[in-house]
Structure formats: structure tokens, C-alpha cells
Structure 1
Amino acid sequence: MYRPTHFKEDRLPVLHQAMTAIGLANLVTVGADGIPQASPLPLLLRADEGPYGTLYGHVAKANPQWRETPAGSPALAIFMGPDAYITPSWYATKAETGKVVPTWNYATIHARGPITFFEDADALLDLVGGLTDRHEGSRTAPWTVADAPADFIQAQLRGIVGFRLMLTSIEGKWKMSQNRPAADRDGTANGLARDGAAGVAALVRAGGAGVP
């Protein structure tokens, strides 16, 4: 990923927090035939496994991606945070020189590592339980896997394949107008707020610091 210095985000705790908050990622792999495939999937980060953490998820057994991806081959998980179109009309520079063009602000994380797949029922149950707890835990009456009949859950597990992505690198890019003058950033943040893009506006005001 192309990352000019002012857009780089390399702090591991920030990246981990953002990956967990975003939740959904596109899993990109390349088959033995050289054709790339991608699936949008909810992923579970276990930050204490390996130097950069390990991502877990599952695909439908009918999804050919897992069968066509060689075990141990490189994989990429792409997390996308908030994004928004930026009109040059928000820039103070527009009135001063007119030398402005539109752009797009966004936050993204590319997490890479070798991928392996598993079908062990106990490991799959642990995975779906972890994913469920991650997203249900803050609810007043959280649903748990144990709420469903055990035989029903076992049947569901037979229809999925789990994967493990032990991360060897994580790259973050927070493109949030850090390369613009202060007056342009102020105008951008105000414009974004008016347009309802509060998450992007907050990151612009923070100079790209923080978690999407």
C-alpha cells in the first residue's frame, strides 16, 4: 500500500483497536491458478497470538476460496474505516488561489500473513463463540451460542471452514487531510460535519490521530 509519511499509522495498539472496532474485512487470497479471490468476512483478532496478533474467521464450506487457496500461502485482510468525498469548496485555499482539486479521505488497514484452514468442530465452536461474544457482549440481553440447540449448532458448524491468519505485518493509512493547511483542514472538518460524516470529521480535526 502506498503510504506517504503524513498518512502512516503504525502504532500496533491503535491498529488492533481499529481492526476490532471495524470488525468486517475483505479476505484476499490467490489460488494456485494465480487468480485472486476476495470475501467480506467478520474477523476475530487475538492480539496476544504472535508479534502482530492472529486473525480468525470462517467461510461457507461451499465457498471455493478455501479449497483453491494453498495452505500456508500469503493472504491479505483489508479493513476499511470511515471514508468520505472531500470537495475543494471546503478549502480556504480555493478562495485564495483556486489551485485545489477534489479528493477522498479514508482510513484503512492491510494485515498480511500465511493462511491455514481448519474443520475441527471444537476449534470452530470456539471461533463462532468468540465472534458472537465480541458483538453481543455489550447488549442488554446478549445472545450466546449456547442459546441454540446443540445439535443445530453442530449442523451449522459442518457447513463452515475456519481459517487462521497469523499476521506478519500490519500497515495502517489514515488519509485525513494531514497534508492540507490548517485553514483547509478546519473547513474540511466543518463541511464533513454538516454532511453527516462525523467520524471522518473527528479524525480530520485530530490530525489523523485516533481510532476510526
Structure 2
Amino acid sequence: MYLPSHFEESRIAVLHDLIEKHPMGILFTHGKSGLDANHLPFDLHRAEGSQGVLHAHVARNNPVWQDVANVDEVMVVFRAADAYISPQWYPSKHEFHKQVPTWNYIVAHAYGRITIRDDERYVRGVVARLTRIHEASQPVPWKMTDAPADYIDSMLKAIVGLEIEITRIVGKYKLGQNKEVRDIRGAGEALNAKGDRLLGDAMLAAADAKGE
């Protein structure tokens, strides 16, 4: 990933926060069949390994778990937000007419070594944790015990676990930090007016930080 210094986010805690808030990642592999990409929800364990460990599962019918070997290098991309940025949102454009469109975004790339975990106990733990996390906001959270035990057992047999120990993690927060404070702020306010508050608020924070 092209990473100019003014867009780089290297704080692991910040990147871990991004992953936990936006856990749907794209797993990129380069196995026996070549390049592949799979969209999966991940469960991050921050304290495991040197930079955290990602846990996930795939359908047993998905060839990815047989296409890669243990300790193969993989990459998982997590995207928090993105949006088109119009030159019209920059106050300086209306003075000098020297601005062009761009696209701003917040992403994290986690590189790591994969381990295939084809055992029921591991898979059950991954599913249970993901369920607890993502059902927590429901008025009546669903639990695995809500379904018949034999049904859950059959579902677990149909999936395979994936464990990825993160060896390197990089973040890119492209928020217009290379522009004037007024232009960052103008674009951030325009995004908020459109309802793109996550990216808009991030740009306003970047404007505040640059203005200090």
C-alpha cells in the first residue's frame, strides 16, 4: 500500500480499535490455486502474539482452507470508511481554482501467518465469541443454546477455523492532512452534512490536530 507519511497511522491500539469496530475483513491469500480473496468477520484477540491474533471461520466447502498451508503469509484488509471528496468543498478552490477531486478513506492492513484450525472445539469458541459480540445490541440476544444441540453440532461440522497471528499491521488515514486546515474542515463539514459522519468527524479531528 502506498503510504505517504502524512497519511500513516502506526499506533497499534488505534488500528486494533478499527478492527474491532469494523470486523468484516477481506482475507487475501496466495495459495496453490493463485490469488484469492474472501470476505469474513474476524474476532481480534489483542493480547495474543506480539501484535494480536485474528480468529475466523469459513465453510468447509470453501477451498481456501485447503489451498493454503500453515504459516503461509496472508493479508487481511479492514475498511472503516471512504467517501468521494469534491473540490467544491474546499474554501481555497473558490479563491484559486487549484483543487481536484479525490477519495478519502480509513483502512488497516494486517499481515500475518495463517494456521488452519480444523477442530470442533476451536470453531465452537470462535462462533460463540462472534455471536456474543454481535448479538449484544439486540433486544433479545440470540444464543447458541437457543437452537437444538444436534443442529448446532451439525452446523459446526460444516465450517473450519482460521487463526492468523499478526506479524505487521499498517494503517492509512487519508483525511486531507496534506491540505490547508480550512480545506480539511470544509470537506469534513460537507461529509457530515451528507451523513458520512465517521469520515467527516475524522477529518474535523485531523483539521483540529493540524491547527494546533
**Does the alignment reach a TM-score above 0.5?**
yes
Tell me the C-alpha RMSD between the 2 structures: 1.5
Matched to 2:112, the amino acid is G
The question of whether the paired residues in 2 share the 8 Å contact of 1:20 and 1:45 is answered with yes
Q: Aligned partners of 2:22, 2:118: CA distance in 1, in Å?
A: 26
Q: Distance in 2 between matches of 1:113 and 1:200?
A: 27
Deviations for 1:96-119, whole angstroms, at most 9, x for unmatched residues?
221111000100000011101111
Match of 2:31 in 1: 31
Offset at residue 149 of structure 1 (A): 1.1
Shift of 1:209: 9.3
Distance 2:46 2:177 in 1: 29
Instruction: Give secondary structure in 1 for the equivalent of 2:27.
Output: strand
Pair 1:83 & 2:82 matched: yes
Structure 1 unaligned segments of length 5 or more: list them: none
1:140 to partner: Cα distance: 3.1
Report deviation, 1:32. 2.4
Q: Name the count of aligned residue pairs.
A: 209
Query: For residue 118 of structure 2, what is the aligned residue in structure 1?
Result: 119
Which residue of 2 is the match for residue 60 of structure 1?
Answer: 59
- Aligned 8 A contact 2:26 2:40 in 1: yes
For the 8 Å contact 2:185–2:207, the answer to whether it is kept is: no
Consecutive unaligned residues in structure 2, runs of 5 or more: none
Deviation at 1:139, TM superposition (A): 2.9
Cα deviation 1:37-58 (Å, max 9, x = unaligned): 0010000001111110000001
TM-score calculated relative to the size of structure 2: 0.94
How high is the TM-score relative to the length of structure 1?
0.94
Paired residue for 2:13? Answer: 13
Take 2:30 and 2:207, find their aligned partners in 1: how far apart are those partners? 32
Q: Within 2, Cα distance between the matches of 1:66 and 1:112?
A: 17
Distance 1:176 1:68, change over 3 A: same
Q: Which residue number in structure 1 is paired with residue 171 of structure 2?
A: 172
Distance 2:51 2:164 in 1: 11
Query: Percent of aligned pairs with the same residue?
Result: 38
Letter in 2 for 1:6: H
Give the AA of the match of 1:157: L
- Are the counterparts in 2 of residues 174 and 208 from structure 1 also a CA contact under 8 Å? no
1:209 and 1:29 map into 2 onto residues whose CA distance is: 39
